Amino acid sequence: MRRIAVSILILSAIRWLSGAGAAPLYAQPKEGDKLNGKLGVTPGIAQLDTADLNSRLAAYGYPGIPQWYFTLGAIYQLSDGAFVSDIEYIRYINNSLTGGGNVTTAGGWNSWLNLGYAIVNLPYFQFYPMVGLGGGTLTVKVGEDFTGQGFDSILSATNTAVDLEKGVYSVFLGGGIDFSIDLGESNPVDLLIGLRAGYIFDLSATTGWTSHGVALASGPNSGFSGFSARLYVGVSE
């Protein structure tokens, strides 16, 4: 909450200092100082930095975790035309690899408070670079591969299981483009189609690893660092 409050104060200060003379390139005249809202879902793909973690897993005979994941998230954005501020959440849909009689599954989530500036701001098109600060949780589970086995076989097995989590602080650095499609004067909102892409930086390095709530020292330097791209579909005022 402290990070969110500080970011909102920074955005307000920038708007106050910029005044009326800080219009973005190709800006259209605006009536008043109205905040416009955007709300949408964001299916996409994202990459994890898996090298160090997979080396540690392989040393004990476990399969590594996949590098690429499908993601699904949501965005709520406020903008006065030039300055953009939004809250974004993305979920990494579980993905797994099997080998050596075991299966390793990974997934998790990230959320950021993003701030941006629309350097191209037309009535139905925006382009804005942005930076976001937030965090999330990476989950990794290793267990026996029970493919093709019956119910009683699972109950009688040793059921080796490893549950790991990594709490992270992360930064998103990228940008977005938004297209608004007019749905007619009788409709209070426009259809919004956009694309957001950039790089996620995991700031936690080797820290943040836990198992069943117990902190683990000397964890691998792997996490959410990697490229991410999301389609943005929703509505705008």
- pTM of this structure: 0.80
For residue 14, the one-letter residue type is I
Dump strand ranges (E) for the chain. 36-41, 44-47, 68-79, 83-99, 102-117, 120-122, 125-144, 161-181, 190-202, 209-211, 214-215, 226-236
Question: What fold does the segment set 2-11+35-236 form as a domain?
Answer: Porin (2.40.160)
For residue 125, the one-letter residue type is F
Angle at 119 between CA 118 and CA 123, to 5 degrees: 65
Buried b (16+ CB within 10 A) or exposed e, 66-94: beebebebbbebbbbbbbbbbbbbbbbee
pLDDT at 36: 82
pLDDT at 23: 45
pLDDT at 137: 96
Q: What is the mean pLDDT of each run of 10 residues along the chain (237 residues)?
A: 47 46 43 72 96 94 94 93 92 93 93 95 91 96 80 70 93 94 85 95 93 92 95 90
Distance CA 109, CA 89 (A): 7
Backbone angle region of 218, left / alpha / beta, with phi > 0 → left and psi within -120 to 50 → alpha? left
